[in-house]
Amino acid sequence: MTSLSYPNESPEYRAARDALLKEELALREQIERVAKQRRALPPGGLVKEDYVFDERVNGKDLQTKLSELFAPKKDTLLLYSFMYSPDMAAACPMCTGFLDGLHGQIVHLDQSINVAIVAKHSLDKIHEFAASRGWDGFRMLSSANNTYNADYFGETDAGQTTMANVFVRDGKKVRHFWGTEMSFAHAIEGGNMRHLDQAWAMWNVLDMTPGGRGAQFYPSLSYSNE
């Protein structure tokens, strides 16, 4: 492994940086091992039902089945449960921050998989909020009239929660493949569930900096300098 050397760095810095690099490389290998193990999961359970979502397309309100969210030749669906319901004063800032970043990748993701965002709110409120964020590339769904969120852990008795689920089309059937179950695990010390870290660039960029994620910082719906 080639060791780099930046201008004016001390021997102590270089030794510590080389040691850190070994850990970074080990982490990279661990990430790939976990991804490989995830891809090797046996077939998941058939979906409980072919859920009917409310959807608005070109100004027209429609009812769309879960099975209809799969485009031809794309047998994978990422369905993100967005915390926004009539019981909430505003949309979840954390979910919003994550989706702001994901939206920038949607044109690329669409080449390989299907992506949709579901919230248990009215279509009017969902589209009003999406428009305010510039989310014109997302397929936005309402689960106000079905039990999808409850069945696939986008809500609990305490209300809406954050969850991403991946489904696969198996012939004419749809199966669950994987979900971000770390959102229900114990938080790490000094952190939170980090169930979607691998897909959230903001936190990963902050991890590269001296201050890290910061003990008090969380995304907001707006900032004073806007």
Architecture of the domain made up of 52-181: 3-Layer(aba) Sandwich (3.40)
Distance of CA 10 to the CA centre of its chain: 40
Q: How many angstroms separate the CA atoms of 139 and 157, rounded?
A: 27
Residue range 175-190, pLDDT digits in tens: 999 999 988 888 777 6
Least confident of 7-21, 29-43, 64-78, 192-206: 192-206
pLDDT band of 72, cuts 50, 70, 90 = very high
Residue 210 has what pLDDT? 93
Residue range 133-177, pLDDT digits in tens: 999 999 999 999 999 999 999 999 999 999 999 999 999 999 999
Residue 190 has what pLDDT? 64
Taking Cα atoms as reference points, which of 142, 152, 220 lies closest to residue 183?
Answer: 152
Is-contact 97 219, C-beta < 8 A? yes
The whole-number average pLDDT for the span 89-94 is 95
Token code pair at residue 18: 């080389």
pLDDT band of 2, cuts 50, 70, 90 = confident
Could you identify the residue written with the tokens 């994901």? 102
Residue 121 has what pLDDT? 97
Q: How many angstroms separate the CA atoms of 193 and 114, rounded?
A: 25
Taking Cα atoms as reference points, which of 38, 40, 50 lies closest to residue 151?
Answer: 50
Residue 206 has what pLDDT? 92
Q: What is the mean pLDDT of the chain?
A: 94
Distance of CA 201 to the CA centre of its chain: 11
Q: Is 12 helix (H, G, I), strand (E, B) or coil?
A: helix
The whole-number average pLDDT for the span 46-73 is 97
Residue 193 has what pLDDT? 72
pLDDT band of 27, cuts 50, 70, 90 = very high
Residue 14 has what pLDDT? 95
Is-contact 183 165, C-beta < 8 A? no
